[in-house]
Structure 1
Amino acid sequence: MVLKSICIVRHGSREKYGDVKVTEKKTFKDPINWRGPNGPDDQLTDIGRQQARELADYLSSSHPEISAVYTSRHYRCLETVKPYAEMCEREGKAINFRLEMGLSEWQRIDRKQARVPSIKQLRDYIPRLDAERQSHCDPLGHENPEEFYARNAHFLANLIQSLDNDPNGPEAVLLCTSASNIAWIARVLTGGCPENPTKHDFDIPAIGFYKFVRREVVPVEIDLEKRTPLGYLQVNWQNGVAIGGKWDITHRADCTFLSSGTIMLWVPSDIPESLPPYEALQMPKPSLPNFFDMGERNAEKAIAATIYTETEATITATAVEVPAE
């Protein structure tokens, strides 16, 4: 079955920024080394969760051709696709939901990364999510813009080739990821690589929906011997050469189905003007807790506090019952 279309959606409005630009539509700068109560693996806002529910309705009614979903491991992306997974479960739709490390956020050296959720954490959250299947690509180190292009090209080449070669593979897939990934994926799919990576060629709002339709099919060829310094496959895609043929954009940052409209807009010019160089294969393992870790810790603290309170109450009650001498 040849892959015919790739749909891409950004996660919903997230707590890191709040429901920014609900009335304003200007862009915002990504705060470097941002720290907060949820660290880098934060959850959606109430509006973001409403957006996720509206996305599920939209996908079900307007894009029934989608039969596979690939999501980033970040909680904000998992939370975005969860209503759609639950809707498919209720309606008996045979759609595969898969974890894909290749859709992880840009591994910039100026960012901190949370630990990858465990298989148990993922299964408890989205039972239908296939978290054991090997990803098409894994982040290999600190990525400058060129290596970030290489990672997305590596992921797309493997994804398209594997689905083209699968006789039971889907004709249309949905990818859920972060803003910069969408801009880079869009450039790779269309074969357009601006000289300046901060060129404003794509708008990426919260739940901004993109659809790329394949109008010319060319077999994907992968040379396993040619790799970048970090180890990603060197895939030919620049100067108008797209991966697997030609792709037309039929939906571009569509937010018409959202009651919130266009919010939390990100554009490539929001990238810091000067990024430190990457350090090949020297990215430390993520040490910050993910959202599930934090939830489990809070639950443990709550249980401990309850036990302490009950013990204290028992001791107090016992002391009251002791007769005075």
Structure 2
Amino acid sequence: MIEVVYVIRHAFRTNWSVNPQTGEYTSASKTPTGIPTDPPLASYGVEQAKELAEYLCSVQPPIDRIYSSPFYRCLQTLLPTTERLFAEGRAGGKIRVDRGVGEFFGLAPFQHPEPPTLAVLNSHFPNLDPLHAATHIPHSRGEKILELHDRVEKALTTIITCLDSDAEKPRSVLICTHAATMIAIGRALTGNMPEDPDEDDFQCYTASLSRFERKKGDDAKVIGNWNCVLNSETSYLSGGAERGW
């Protein structure tokens, strides 16, 4: 069964903006997928991803499976890590793209841009799992914070239950996601949901790593059955903790 969940936030990205009246999104620079809310990493973020990879490739237990948000910046953050791990025959050889751990957009009277499809992402990133299909999709007009938490709980339950029954018996999984989603993952896994959703509890610095270890006993339980032993670790980054949310 899965014993450890590693969670990372994507590295430092370029920016976009939205007109809250019209719902028109614009990007500070051309995006690789043509979607304004899908910017690449900034050059600084590319360097962060390399530093993160050095750390991830040496964690114990080693990474056995990898899931990612479908946005370009997450897969770009993973690239230095997956190039090395997959070349060494580790981490399952594929990334499972899953919208259940994707970006959080607040409620709006307009539709938010959809993330790129797997077909589009395949033109930029190798080794995406064509057989994996997400089952928990954010609403196109955004979510309330509690709806984000509900979506994340369902996605984690599906992901971990699937891995627990994997015939190859993986011990660990790495999830690459975004700021608000990273916080929600910490709350879901530990079961520590504050009365005030704005409470400062789980951190989410760029290119940071959180680590959750499964409690002994009720192995079948997913939500609320994990201890947080690293909360947005950044010691391996030359710039340290940056851009908390």
Same fold? TM cut 0.5 = yes
Instruction: Indicate conservation of the 8 Å contact 2:14/2:28, yes or no.
Output: no
Label 1:133 to 1:265 Cα distance change in 2 as closer, same or farther (>3 A): same
SS of alignment partner, residue 27 of structure 2? coil
1:294 maps to: none
Alpha-carbon shift at residue 16 of structure 1 (Å): 1.2
1:262 maps to: 241
Instruction: Indicate conservation of the 8 Å contact 2:9/2:208, yes or no.
Output: yes
Amino acid aligned to 2:186: A
Distance in 2 of aligned mates of 1:50 and 1:189: 30
Alpha-carbon shift at residue 198 of structure 1 (Å): 0.6
1:78 maps to: 75
2:51 maps to: 54
Instruction: Indicate conservation of the 8 Å contact 1:136/1:159, yes or no.
Output: no
SS of alignment partner, residue 215 of structure 2? strand
Alpha-carbon shift at residue 182 of structure 1 (Å): 0.8
1:226 maps to: none
Label 1:48 to 1:143 Cα distance change in 2 as closer, same or farther (>3 A): same
Distance in 1 of aligned mates of 2:95 and 2:19: 31
Distance in 2 of aligned mates of 1:149 and 1:69: 21
- The unaligned stretches of length 5 or more in structure 2 are 30-35
Amino acid aligned to 2:27: G
Label 1:15 to 1:193 Cα distance change in 2 as closer, same or farther (>3 A): same
Distance in 2 of aligned mates of 1:48 and 1:10: 11
1:1-325 mapped onto 2 (5 Å cutoff):
2-16=1-15, 35-38=26-29, 39-63=36-60, 65-95=62-92, 96-110=94-108, 113-141=112-140, 142-218=142-218, 220=220, 243=223, 246-266=225-245
Alpha-carbon shift at residue 131 of structure 1 (Å): 3.9
Number of equivalent positions: 232
* CA deviation vs aligned residue, 1:278-298 (integer Å, no higher than 9, x gap): xxxxxxxxxxxxxxxxxxxxx
Of the structure 1 ranges 210-219 and 45-54, higher mean CA displacement relative to structure 2 is found in: 210-219
Label 1:220 to 1:158 Cα distance change in 2 as closer, same or farther (>3 A): farther
Alpha-carbon shift at residue 89 of structure 1 (Å): 3.3
Instruction: Indicate conservation of the 8 Å contact 2:63/2:91, yes or no.
Output: no
Distance in 2 of aligned mates of 1:40 and 1:4: 34
SS of alignment partner, residue 186 of structure 1? helix
Instruction: Indicate conservation of the 8 Å contact 2:2/2:164, yes or no.
Output: yes
Amino acid aligned to 1:118: T
* CA deviation vs aligned residue, 1:147-176 (integer Å, no higher than 9, x gap): 111101111111121111222242100000
SS of alignment partner, residue 216 of structure 2? strand
Instruction: Indicate conservation of the 8 Å contact 2:65/2:173, yes or no.
Output: yes
- The unaligned stretches of length 5 or more in structure 1 are 18-29, 222-241, 267-325
What is the root-mean-square deviation in Å for CA atoms of aligned residues? 2.4
SS of alignment partner, residue 63 of structure 2? coil
Question: Once the two structures are aligned, what percentage of the paired residues are identical?
Answer: 30
Amino acid aligned to 2:39: D
Alpha-carbon shift at residue 31 of structure 1 (Å): 9.5
Larger helix proportion of the pair = 1
Instruction: Indicate conservation of the 8 Å contact 1:157/1:220, yes or no.
Output: no
SS of alignment partner, residue 244 of structure 2? coil
Amino acid aligned to 2:151: R
Amino acid aligned to 1:149: H
Instruction: Indicate conservation of the 8 Å contact 2:187/2:202, yes or no.
Output: no
Instruction: Give 1 or 2 for the bigger CA radius of gyration.
Output: 1
Alpha-carbon shift at residue 65 of structure 1 (Å): 1.7
